Amino acid sequence: MKAFLATSNKHKVEELNYISPNWIEVSPISDLFNEFNPEETGSTFIENSVIKAVTGGNKIKKIVLADDSGLCIESLDGFPGIKSSRFMEGRTYEEKMKAIFKMLEGKDRKAYFACAATYYNPMTNQLISYEGRVYGKISEVIRGHEGFGYDPFFIPDGYSETFGILGNNVKKEISHRARAFNGLFNILNKII
Ligand code: ITT
């Protein structure tokens, strides 16, 4: 099966290529048209993932996958959550992570990454979403250059290093993205 990932984030495409089974070939939607940037008006990861998939699929009239994801910090009521990318827009991730360190002073550091993976086929109108999470905590210091976004300050449960150090070899096994897309691919494998 050939699918296009409706994203403007090249790191998501790279990670999906690690995760995808042989029977799925994933290319970025930017192969077909540029500037994919629909307004994310949903209030959950699933809603925003569906917006991206349906907007992208209807535009290119081909099978599309979408990923809406983010970091949720439990003591900050799930912040930055669905706003993970838009929070402090225009600033570097180092600045964003340092701002979060300040917010967390004296607070519990438990956090999780969530990812909503969506499949949309505009020819059949079939729409399927699956959410995955990885639980862990926010580190005391920023460490590592692997991955992207908030990876350098997130330590997954069962490990003592950040995703920024652990990199794709670990992310492809346990990340929110791996869990979401593996769940979605298991469903697709049964019905397609
Ligand atoms: P698209 O909407 O075009 O897919 P985006 O990067 O804006 O790209 P999201 O709206 O889903 O995507 O925001 C996800 C943000 O959450 C992302 O930019 C990172 O800041 C963070 N994030 C998601 N997954 C992550 C991961 O695996 N590692 C680190 N940060 C992640």
Averages of pLDDT over runs of 10 residues in the chain (192 residues) are 95 96 94 87 98 96 98 98 96 98 98 98 97 98 98 98 97 98 97 85
- Ligand 1 touching residue 9 (CB < 6 A): yes
Per-residue pLDDT of 41-86, as tens digits, reads 999 999 999 999 999 999 999 999 999 999 999 999 999 999 999 9
The DSSP-derived string for the chain is: -EEEE--S-HHHHHHHHHH--TT-EEEEGGGT-S--------SSHHHHHHHHHHHHHHHHTS-EEEEEEEEEEGGGTTEEGGGTTTTTTTS-HHHHHHHHHHHTTTS--EEEEEEEEEEEETTTTEEEEEEEEEEEEE-SS----SSSTTGGGEEETT-SS-HHHH-HHHHHHHSHHHHHHHHHHHHHHHH-
Q: What domains, with CATH codes, occur in the chain?
A: 2-191 (3.90.950.10)
Residue 34 has what pLDDT? Answer: 79
Q: Note the pLDDT of residue 32.
A: 87
Output the pLDDT for position 80. 98
Q: Has this prediction a pTM greater than 0.95?
A: yes
Q: Is 84 in the pocket of ligand 1 (CB under 6 A)?
A: yes
pLDDT of residue 31: 86
Residue 160, pLDDT score: 98
Atom of ligand 1 nearest to the CA of 8: 3
Ligand 1, atom 7: closest residue by C-alpha: 85
Atom 4, ligand 1: residue with shortest CA distance: 7
> Minimal CA–CA distance to 16: which of 184, 188, 187, 158?
184
Structure confidence at residue 137 (pLDDT): 98
Whether residue 70 has its Cβ less than 6 Å from ligand 1 = yes
What local confidence, expressed as pLDDT, does residue 35 receive?
Answer: 82
For ligand 1, whether the C-beta of 150 sits within 6 Å is yes
CA of 82 to the centre of ligand 1 (A): 9
7 labelled binding-site residue: yes
Q: How many whole angstroms from 58 Cα to the centroid of ligand 1? A: 22
Instruction: Write down the pLDDT at residue 147.
Output: 96
